[in-house]
């Protein structure tokens, strides 16, 4: 059964090798003042920065820049951007980079004109945004988060050691996003597989909850199969356009709300990973991969039929002569094998976690779950399994 729903996704996507040719016409739809945001150094190294500055110039834009956005963007960077927006009366925030830059752009977009402390109001108390929202556009350089087509904005408050995600409504989604899979060719291998697993995890978080027969779960299975086959190609040949373009679109589909529409969802792996990220600053998708296998082994018995479906429909596990428990575990083992094939670490230690951090992560993670409510002790148990 599908729950009743309203669906509206206002982001315009330009996809493919010539996608950047649409930037000029998009820019012409906004006022003169642009805040250009990017990460540490990849956009300058690849030459994309120069191309974009040229287009901005041609459109007669007055540009201010916010460079050096961290992976796992910081709240202090959001505040820096807010000041630039107010001081320069910015009409459009143009984010060029991965999910971190796009998330940070959305955070600035809602926070620049907020009354009071935006962190407390919007990321902790989840208040509705009641102030002017500055429009965001994006040129994506890394596939994974789907931030290019959703309202998510995950920010780390470094003083409070809290990494929190907030999902805003369509008014905060990027107005347009430019996706050229060739830009992802230069993403380092460990970041590429981090992105792949982030996509995987988004799909699983939406899949492992609820038992109804609904179109959304079939969609997820299809996107997962495309992702698995393309990731296996891309990990061997990062310059394979077909594989990289599939991965890029799987990423967008994975969390542009279409594959989670109208069904129950889990998200506990993400809740735990966000606090792992707050303590270790590890790449998001790698953290998710490490936590996923012990987490799914732990909750599998509470949603056994769905795990059986996952094993047979996604991994093609043969069910003949096996009981449900065995089939389900073979599905999770296939997931673990995929993680290994991607060359992703399998322990928290490899991601920089220490034994002392585990209780702190368990305590500070948001508690919840799909088939089983995870309390502090459950989370600590899972973390110890993958330490």
Residues at the interface with Zn ion (CB under 5 A): 198
Contact 147, 73 (CB under 8 A): no
Rg (CA), the chain: 20
146 binds ligand NZQ (CB under 6 A): yes
Give the relative orientation of helices 284-299 and 268-280 as an angle to the nearest 10 degrees: 140
The minimum distance between CB 263 and Zn ion, in angstroms, equals 18
The most distant pair of C-alpha atoms in the chain lies apart, rounded to whole Å, by 69
Report DSSP letters for 177-212, one per residue.
Answer: EEE-GGGGGGS-HHHHHHHHHHHHHHHHHHHSS---
Per partner kind, with CB cut-offs from 5 to 8 A, the member of Zn ion, ligand NZQ, none near residue 294 is none
112 neighbors 156 (Cβ within 8 angstroms): no
Report the nearest approach of ligand NZQ to the CB of residue 263 (Å).
18
- Which of 327/345 has CB closer to ligand NZQ? 345
CA end-to-end span of the chain, whole Å?
39
For residue 6, the minimal CB distance to ligand NZQ (Å) is 20
Sketch the per residue contact string, 267 through 306, with ligand NZQ: x for CB under 6 A, - otherwise: ---x-------------x----------------------
Contact 61, 79 (CB under 8 A): no
If one asks whether residue 157 binds ligand NZQ (CB under 6 A), the answer comes out as no
* Region of 16-24, 49-57, 188-196, 334-342 interacting with ligand NZQ (CB under 6 A): 188-196
Beta strand ranges found along 30-160 (DSSP E): 33-38, 62-66, 92-97, 136-140, 152-157
Q: CB nearest Zn ion: which residue?
A: 198
292 binds, among Zn ion, ligand NZQ, none (CB under 5 to 8 A by kind): none
The residue (of 14 and 200) whose beta carbon lies closer to Zn ion is: 200
| Least Å from the CB of residue 188 to ligand NZQ | 6
CB of residue 102 to Zn ion, shortest distance in Å: 13
Stretch that binds ligand NZQ, among 152-160, 215-223, 299-307, 361-369 (CB under 6 A): 152-160
Please say which residue, 82 or 231, places its beta carbon nearer to Zn ion: 231
**158 burial class (0-12, 13-18, 19+ CB within 10 angstroms)?**
middle
- Minimum distance of Zn ion from residue 142's CB (angstroms): 13
Report whether 34 contacts 92 (CB < 8 A).
yes
Q: Is 147 in the site for ligand NZQ (CB under 6 A)?
A: yes
Asked if residue 244 binds ligand NZQ (CB under 6 A), the reply is no
Tell me which stretch binds ligand NZQ (CB under 6 A): 34-42, 317-325, 335-343, 372-380.
Answer: 34-42
Q: In what order do the strands lie in the sheet with 176-179?
A: 12-15, 176-179, 136-140, 92-97, 33-38, 62-66
Given ligand NZQ, Zn ion, none, residue 109, with its beta carbon under 5 to 8 Å by kind, binds: none
Cα–Cα–Cα angle for 288, 196, 162, rounded to 5 degrees: 35
Question: Where is 103: in which H helix or E strand?
Answer: helix 99-111
One of 27, 136, 187, 382 touching ligand NZQ (CB under 6 A): 187
- 264 vs 371: CA distance, rounded Å: 10
Identify what 254 binds: ligand NZQ, Zn ion, none; CB under 5 to 8 Å per kind.
Answer: none
Q: CA-CA distance, 234 to 169, in Å (whole number)?
A: 33
Total residues interacting with ligand NZQ, rule: CB under 6 A: 36
Chain residues binding ligand NZQ by CB under 6 A are 39-43, 46, 71-72, 97-101, 103, 141-142, 144-147, 150, 152-154, 165, 183-184, 186-187, 191, 194-195, 198, 255, 270, 284
């Amino acid at each position: 059964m599908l729950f009743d729903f309203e669906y509206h996704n206002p982001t315009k996507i330009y996809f493919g090798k010539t996608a950047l040719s649409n930037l000029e016409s998009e820019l012409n739809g906004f006022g003169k003042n642009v805040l250009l945001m990017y990460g540490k150094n990849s956009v300058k190294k690849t030459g994309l920065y120069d191309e974009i500055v040229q287009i901005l110039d041609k459109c007669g834009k007055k540009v201010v820049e916010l460079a050096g956005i961290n992976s796992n963007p910081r709240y202090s960077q959001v505040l820096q951007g807010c000041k630039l927006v107010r001081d320069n009366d910015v009409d459009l925030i143009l984010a060029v980079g991965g999910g971190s830059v796009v998330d940070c752009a959305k955070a600035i977009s809602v926070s620049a004109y907020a009354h009071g402390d935006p962190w407390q109001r919007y990321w902790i108390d989840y208040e509705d945004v009641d102030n002017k929202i500055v429009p965001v556009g994006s040129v994506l350089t890394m596939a994974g988060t789907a931030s290019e087509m959703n309202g998510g904005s995950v920010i780390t408050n470094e003083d409070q050691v809290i990494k929190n995600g907030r999902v805003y409504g369509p008014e905060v989604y990027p107005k347009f996003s430019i996706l050229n899979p060739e830009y992802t060719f230069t993403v380092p291998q460990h970041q590429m597989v981090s992105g792949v697993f982030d996509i995987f995890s988004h799909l699983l978080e939406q899949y492992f909850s609820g038992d109804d027969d609904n179109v959304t779960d079939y969609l997820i299975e299809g996107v997962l199969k495309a992702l698995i086959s393309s990731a296996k190609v891309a990990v061997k040949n990062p310059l394979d356009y077909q594989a990289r373009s599939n991965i890029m679109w799987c990423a967008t589909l994975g969390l542009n709300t279409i594959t989670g529409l109208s069904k129950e969802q889990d998200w506990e792996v993400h809740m735990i990973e966000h606090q792992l990220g707050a303590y270790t600053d590890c790449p998001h998708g790698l953290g998710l991969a490490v936590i996923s296998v012990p987490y799914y082994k732990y909750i599998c018995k509470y949603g056994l039929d769905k795990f059986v479906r996952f094993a047979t429909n996604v991994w093609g596990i043969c069910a003949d002569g096996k009981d449900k428990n065995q089939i389900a575990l073979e599905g999770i083992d296939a997931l673990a094998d995929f993680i290994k094939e991607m060359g992703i670490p399998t322990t928290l230690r490899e991601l920089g976690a220490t034994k002392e951090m585990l209780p702190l992560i368990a305590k500070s993670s948001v508690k919840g779950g799909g088939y089983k409510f995870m309390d502090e002790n459950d989370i600590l148990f899972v973390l110890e399994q993958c330490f």
